[in-house]
Amino acid sequence: MKLGITCYPTYGGSGAVATELGLELARRGHEVHFITYDSPFRLRGYAERVFFHQVETRMGRYPLFDHFPYTLALASKQHEVVLREGLDVLHVHYAIPHATTAYLAREMLRGVHQLRVITTLHGTDITLVGQESSFYAITKFSIERSDAVTAVSTYLRDETFRAFGCVSCDLRVVPNFVNLQEYHPGDSSDRCGLVPADHKLITHVSNFREVKRVKDVVRVFARIRRAMPATLMMIGDGPERMDAENEARELGVVQDIRFLGRLDTVASLLQASDLFLLPSQTESFGLAALEAMACGSPVVATRAGGLPEVIEDGVSGILEPVGSVEAMGRRAVELLRTPERHAAMREAAIARAQEYSADRIVPLYEELYQEVLR
């Protein structure tokens, strides 16, 4: 098949999933065309059958526009690439504005070229942004006009029905997946030379937005640090980073936290990690947690959104209510102090992640493409 993928190319779960999907599809022999304003961050280097088409985000100094109309530029680019390359399916990730631009591109092609549009809902496109009054009607309209819609968890599917009453949609759950060639258990005693040998290594990866509650990451870590030598690796960047640093200073743990910023690859750190913290306000799925589990790091997370679909509390990880830093800290310490329980949870996390391997999940998308083309 010839497939187009549009996503946000920047750091974030939806762009990560879209890119990994494109790469997997290309490995399976499909031709994949990414259409977005920048090369997706996980698209590292050359891959056979993978193409990137850049959407303009600027134009000459035309004084009428205070803001460049990116949505129109994207729809035009999608139209152009679909026609030139003869694409069968345009698979867009994150509804806003991608479901709308895909709808426009398909309308522009009506009678000229048959295009099928698939929208994958990822999270805040439904739970937050899509419900804002400026976006609600057009998000609902564009989702309903897609030829197929998927959600990355049952939680997100139910939220979509609740918020949008999207009755005309055949809203299918296709969970996120993990590339086990890259994310697999490693030698957990190899600390990459980053932390003292007697320290527990705790990790967190996110885009440091409010929803991630990064101050809670620091608070849980402070409780661990009080109980044992430990280092926290904070990977990623975003608006809440300064708050997290200030919290670390206030709690007196800043010397044991490394703010590493954005990294291209995190697998080696996750393989060395004893525990991964994800105390988010909500997560439609929690791809970061799945990748940590695949690398053998148990996750302490919140019982929020789709996280309980991925993590089984007390078995493959630990779940506590949003904001319960005391309970998360206490259970993290108990786990880290009991090597046999930690080893059992690590094994259960690895086994759980294998249920979400790319080999199992990507064929579900291929079946969907075939269905919409029939």
Nearer to ligand GMT, 256 or 291 (CB): 291
* Minimum distance, C-beta of residue 242 to ligand GMT, in the bound complex (Å): 20
| Burial of 354 per CB tally in 10 Å (0-12, 13-18, 19+) | middle
Nearer to ligand GMT, 160 or 231 (CB): 160
User: Taking CA 72 as the corner, what is the angle to CA 69 and CA 77, rounded to the nearest 5 degrees?
Assistant: 125
Structure tokens at 243: 């708050």
What gap in Å lies between CA 210 and CA 239, rounded to an integer? 8
Are the beta carbons of 142 and 166 closer than 8 angstroms? Answer: no
Give the footprint of ligand GMT on this chain (CB under 6 A).
Answer: 8, 12-15, 17, 122-125, 152, 176, 211, 282-287, 305
Core vs surface per residue 183-214: b (16+ CB within 10 A) or e: bbbbebeebeeebeeebbbbbbbbbbbebbbb
Give the three-class secondary structure for 72: helix
Nearer to ligand GMT, 44 or 337 (CB): 44
* Minimum distance, C-beta of residue 337 to ligand GMT, in the bound complex (Å): 30
Nearer to ligand GMT, 13 or 185 (CB): 13
Nearer to ligand GMT, 88 or 291 (CB): 291
Nearer to ligand GMT, 97 or 286 (CB): 286
What gap in Å lies between CA 43 and CA 10, rounded to an integer? 11
* Minimum distance, C-beta of residue 183 to ligand GMT, in the bound complex (Å): 14
Tell me the three-class secondary structure of 112-149, residue by residue: CCCCEEEEEECCHHHHCHHHCCCCHHHHHHHHHHCCEE
* Minimum distance, C-beta of residue 253 to ligand GMT, in the bound complex (Å): 26
List residues bridging with 8 in a β-sheet.
Answer: none
Spatial CB neighbours of 248, under 8 Å, sequence gap ≥ 6: 218, 222, 254, 257
* Minimum distance, C-beta of residue 98 to ligand GMT, in the bound complex (Å): 12
* Minimum distance, C-beta of residue 126 to ligand GMT, in the bound complex (Å): 8
Residue 36 CB neighbour total at 10 angstroms: 26
* Minimum distance, C-beta of residue 125 to ligand GMT, in the bound complex (Å): 6
Are the beta carbons of 310 and 285 closer than 8 angstroms? Answer: yes
Nearer to ligand GMT, 274 or 283 (CB): 283
Nearer to ligand GMT, 70 or 347 (CB): 70
Are the beta carbons of 302 and 319 closer than 8 angstroms? Answer: yes
* Minimum distance, C-beta of residue 354 to ligand GMT, in the bound complex (Å): 18
